[in-house]
Structure 1
Amino acid sequence: MSAPAPSSPVTVVDAPTLPRQEEVLTEPALAFLAELHRRFTPRRNELLELRRERRAEIARTGRLDFLPDTAHIREGAWQVAPAPPALEDRRVEITGPTDRKMTINALNSGARVWLADFEDASSPTWENVVLGQLNMTDAYERRIDFTSGQGKTYALRPADELATVVMRPRGWHLNERHLRSEAGPVPGGLVDFGLYFFHNAQRLIDLGKGPYFYLPKMESHLEARLWNDVFVFAQEYLGIPQGTVRATVLIETITAAYEMEEILYELRDHASGLNAGRWDYLFSIVKNFRDGGQKFVLPDRNAVTMTAPFMRAYTELLVRTCHKRGAHAIGGMAAFIPSRRDAEVNKVAFEKVKADKDREANDGFDGSWVAHPDLVPVAQASFDTVLGDRPNQKDRLREDVHVTAEQLTAIDSLEAKPTADGLRNAVQVGMRYIEAWLRGLGAVAIFNLMEDAATAEISRSQIWQWINAGVVLDTGEKVTPELARLIAAEELTAVREEIGEEAFAAGRWQQAHDLLLQVALDEDYRDFLTLPAYELLD
């Protein structure tokens, strides 16, 4: 057997020099990235092509089904590896980017887990990519603190009070343009995973935990197989015991919803659970069934709650699948941002959060997400009521659940319809989020909700869908490109008046306006708005 071809070096290209970047971009770390790139990027590229082929098949047939070729996996008797002690109790998880202040606040939040996000809650500026890695290592070494502009200081609590970190790298579709070899740019997911694993895997083991990951945007079990092979190689490369890695998969695409068991099976030696989200899942439905006409038209995004029949089918199937296979089922995001000025707003929002978390706990979920530390006690109370002293409820198998392929895409069962207010909200939120993203902010408070890239994706996708399906709103207006442009112009003017000319000029508002209209109105639908947005990112 011939020796493997040597890896082309990975080099830093067209990137500003950052303080302490040499601690992250060491020669051994870059050599590890080069080997990941050589071994796995060609397969990544093949899987992205399979995504396009599958999308074309959905456009032709207008349907999805469980895979006949993997029925033996769904019918077989197997379990994922037991959860390590640090991941047995996941009743509340907080999410957020890895800037220095958020790193401290999330670890101190009282949540059992922090989803340290290099994906949708992080705009992938070079500074965020590199310094986010540095912040993680500094946190594990307890050499991290932060002082705000107002003089407030932040520091870590004792180690036994800190959340367990589960890190989320970028999805397979994104590249990191500042790290390249002769073969091209390194996929962002391999950069985020590789740097984090290389620098922190042994540190985490020494702390009694391990390298734990959330895997986003996957569309098939073959993509899970690729991640599993990455884990096996990475552990071997660094001499880490096989099975040390643990991965939780976000089931946030409609195609992955039909392959939950297969995804867990591919990752079974490294799997620790599945997560049910909302915005990316709805975005995926629009993206895949955008040719389906009125049958697949979603109403206003805020009208599609987790209690909608097709969303209930998805979440109940996820709980049943996880518990059948010994994995954790993690619920969706409570994105509300408490107001320091309006107690009545807080009261109403907290009641909604409580109802949502009560539903998840009673449905069998083992934990759930929040976006703000003030929501940790609210979510914890819901799960404490159901779990008591137990770390989870994986013994609740939900054998009463039987979900058909048709139920997962029964969009036309919804009574709510698109409204003029919903169209305006999509423009407002989409433009505000994109503007912040272009300035390097991935987690953005908009109208008392913490929004990330998934929000912008569903917002622009709904505008595109409503236009192309010829939707008529509750006002009698037909959604057209002209109407979308009119609303976008009005909202741009409203922002200028709201924040003032100086702040408007200092922002990226015109670019955000133009990009939103580009991805919402172009005849050819872009799979991800972050791809053209990345070209504008400094």
Structure 2
Amino acid sequence: MTMIPGVELEDPPRDLKFEHQTLFTTDCIQFLAELITTFDCKVEKVLLQRAATKIHLDVSGDLPEFSSLTSHIRDDKEWKILPVPERLQNRHVDVGDLAPCDTERFLKALKSDAQGIQVDFDDGNCPTYSNQIKGLFNVYKAVRHHFKDAPHISEAPVLMLRPRAWNMIEHNMMVQGKEVPGALFDYGLLVYHNGKLLFENKSGPFFYLSKIESHHEARLWNDIFAWTEEKLGLRRGSIKATVLIENVLATFEMDEILYELREHTLGLNCGIWDYSASFVNKFGNHSAFLLPDRSKYVNMEKPFLRSYMELLVQTCHRRGALATGGMTAAILPSDKGSSQYHSILEKVTRLKLLEIKAGIDGFLVYDLELIKPLQELFLQHTNGKNQLDVLREDVSVTRTELLTMPSGGVTLHGLKYNIEVGILFVASWLTGKGHFIYQGQVEDSATAEISRSQVWQWVRHQVTLEDDSRMVTRGLIRDLVEEGIRVKLVDFLQSNTTKDKERLNTAISIFLEVVQKRDFPEFITTYLNLEHTFLASTAE
């Protein structure tokens, strides 16, 4: 609890009292309270507008389009964003999905040759109070050069700070009787403690903005940045952000999003799984938007994703902004001489070369062993630090191309894999972890999102399997869990104790509940973050 009127802050876990006291000083809490008080109502308005948009899409059957109301922004070829800072001119390979509470991995990334680090409080992180405090404190230490053997912040890979998205709530702080937006909690603590130091070392403050759905949401972030700069005495335009275009609605407003953030943006990012899942989120009730098996039919070579990526590159480069791609989830085997190692590296190289040839300026990897080969790939196929000169004037993407689903059906393997990933993600959250390694690649909330979205949609539209013409139903999913998936996951998780088995049973129950809901839960992380079982399991 605090002495500041209207503010309630929970006591820290017993083993994090020092970290908590360091972060939550009286001045910092006062700054947080002012930030939240100033913008909380606007955040609520964003969430209400999202709900209203979803209702309109469901009731009217309308589809998104390039708005005539903002055509003057798209048609004006002259405006540009402010120049990208020197330290971010080269964004070839960043480390992604790095939950900063994982101190060991954070240190390895700081010592790596990557251009940047996605310091991820969102997709790859489970937002327990302990994890947030540990992660925030690790960033605090890195910026101040408190880690032994780690490079100075001016020489380390650039920290790209990713607060939670608007859909997440921080349960451990209340301002004026309300739990606070997770995005403002994370952002406020990060920028208050580290903003000036990062700026003085020409290393930030730089942010990722997740799950933006419209230029109105970008305008809100721009207002937050401007307010922060005035409060902290930073020069206007000091704070920079990359916006993740991971929602189909935002694809139709990319110019407008850059325009609203033109003093504060670095560019846009495209990622395959959250973006694909957003089609189910927004149009899941429509059979015309049935998304086929992701393991077989969905990749960046498909027209609806390739069009989205090419439009993003064209939009960014026209405005002087960087266009970055998604994260490579593959994990290379330790045996570099094995056929499996070369097979995985060949596949990763082929898909990333596709992005490079499209004009992408950089992308992310999870496995640190992929940094060097993919940096070399950029050097082999590009002429400098970035591809801003690749304007893609040959691209002319239509509304139809963006909204046409790839052909294909549903395989038994794809159904099982989606069920397994969804259950394992819930089980991971119940242990306080935001991502896990499964079958040679990292899985996080983005892959969990597409997994559970597809299962929900396949049940809703009663699709039949390519393999044996069985219909995907609630009963089939339960049968698959009991006939083999449960045993497989017990072995994978090494669930030997009664507590382990109970946790897996809970994860299965929650997953089955999510995929059979009448109304599609918008985000699985929101659902879990409000779930009493999760809150109880992670309570200190």
> Could you report, residue by residue, the CA deviation over 1:383-419 in whole angstroms, capped at 9, with x for unpaired residues?
112223x2111111111100111111101xx232111
CA contact (8 A) 1:10 1:33 kept: no
In structure 1, the partner of 2:65 is 65
CA contact (8 A) 1:214 1:248 kept: yes
- 2-structure distance, mates of 1:302, 1:339: 20
CA contact (8 A) 1:435 1:509 kept: yes
Q: Does 1:374 align with 2:359?
A: no
Cα distance, 1:57 vs structure 2: 2.0
CA contact (8 A) 1:15 1:178 kept: no
In structure 2, the partner of 1:483 is 476
CA contact (8 A) 2:153 2:203 kept: no
In structure 2, the partner of 1:109 is 112
Q: Which amino acid aligns with 1:47?
A: V
Counterparts in 2 of 1:501 and 1:141: CA distance versus 1, 3 Å? closer
Which SS does the other structure have where 1:281 is aligned?
A: helix
Greater shift, 512-521 or 320-329, is seen at 512-521
- 2-structure distance, mates of 1:157, 1:492: 45
Q: Does 1:340 align with 2:338?
A: no
Any unmatched runs of 5+ in structure 1?
1-6, 146-154
CA contact (8 A) 1:123 1:438 kept: no
> Could you report, residue by residue, the CA deviation over 1:252-297 in whole angstroms, capped at 9, with x for unpaired residues?
000011110000000000010100101100110111111111x211
Cα distance, 1:452 vs structure 2: 0.9
CA contact (8 A) 1:70 1:262 kept: yes
Q: Please, which of 100, 103, 118 is the counterpart of residue 103 of structure 2?
A: 100
> Could you report, residue by residue, the CA deviation over 1:310-348 in whole angstroms, capped at 9, with x for unpaired residues?
101100000000001100000111110122258222211
Alignment of 1:261-340 (within 5 A): 261-293=255-287, 295-303=288-296, 304-340=298-334
Alignment of 1:352-367 (within 5 A): 352-367=347-362
Q: Which amino acid aligns with 1:111?
A: A
Q: Which amino acid aligns with 2:433?
A: L
| Runs of 4+ displaced beyond 6 Å | none
In structure 1, the partner of 2:430 is 438
In structure 2, the partner of 1:128 is 131
Q: Does 1:533 align with 2:535?
A: no
CA contact (8 A) 1:338 1:374 kept: yes
CA contact (8 A) 1:461 1:520 kept: yes
> Could you report, residue by residue, the CA deviation over 1:58-110 in whole angstroms, capped at 9, with x for unpaired residues?
22225211111111111122100101111111011111110211211112221
Q: Which amino acid aligns with 2:111?
A: N
- 2-structure distance, mates of 1:501, 1:136: 33
CA contact (8 A) 2:335 2:341 kept: no
Alignment of 1:28-427 (within 5 A): 28-59=27-58, 60-76=60-76, 77-95=78-96, 96-98=98-100, 99-145=102-148, 155-157=149-151, 161-293=155-287, 295-303=288-296, 304-340=298-334, 343-388=338-383, 390-411=384-405, 414-427=406-419
- 2-structure distance, mates of 1:141, 1:182: 33
CA contact (8 A) 1:176 1:191 kept: yes
- 2-structure distance, mates of 1:8, 1:458: 42
CA contact (8 A) 1:103 1:136 kept: no
In structure 1, the partner of 2:13 is 16
In structure 2, the partner of 1:151 is none
Identity %: 37
Counterparts in 2 of 1:46 and 1:387: CA distance versus 1, 3 Å? same
- 2-structure distance, mates of 1:325, 1:504: 57
Cα distance, 1:24 vs structure 2: 0.8
Tell me the TM-score normalised to structure 2 length.
0.93
Greater shift, 314-323 or 75-84, is seen at 75-84
User: What is the CA RMSD across the aligned residues, in angstroms?
Assistant: 1.6
CA contact (8 A) 1:89 1:392 kept: yes
In structure 1, the partner of 2:464 is 472
Counterparts in 2 of 1:140 and 1:406: CA distance versus 1, 3 Å? same
Cα distance, 1:503 vs structure 2: 4.7
- 2-structure distance, mates of 1:74, 1:415: 31
- 2-structure distance, mates of 1:144, 1:256: 39
Q: Which amino acid aligns with 1:361?
A: I
- 2-structure distance, mates of 1:470, 1:64: 26
- 1-structure distance, mates of 2:495, 2:108: 33
CA contact (8 A) 2:6 2:177 kept: no
Cα distance, 1:158 vs structure 2: 5.9
Q: Which amino acid aligns with 1:202?
A: K
CA contact (8 A) 2:154 2:202 kept: no
Cα distance, 1:157 vs structure 2: 4.0
Q: Which amino acid aligns with 1:22?
A: Q
Q: Please, which of 507, 512, 521 is the counterpart of residue 517 of structure 1?
A: 512
Q: Which amino acid aligns with 1:26?
A: T
Greater shift, 171-180 or 496-505, is seen at 496-505
Which SS does the other structure have where 1:86 is aligned?
A: helix
Q: Between Structure 1 and Structure 2, how many residues are aligned?
A: 519
Cα distance, 1:164 vs structure 2: 0.6
Which SS does the other structure have where 1:89 is aligned?
A: coil
Cα distance, 1:160 vs structure 2: 6.1
Which SS does the other structure have where 2:170 is aligned?
A: strand
Which SS does the other structure have where 1:195 is aligned?
A: helix
Q: Which amino acid aligns with 2:167?
A: H
Q: Which amino acid aligns with 1:142?
A: H
Any unmatched runs of 5+ in structure 2?
none
Counterparts in 2 of 1:14 and 1:317: CA distance versus 1, 3 Å? same
Q: Which amino acid aligns with 1:132?
A: G
Counterparts in 2 of 1:231 and 1:8: CA distance versus 1, 3 Å? farther
Which SS does the other structure have where 2:418 is aligned?
A: helix
Cα distance, 1:496 vs structure 2: 2.5
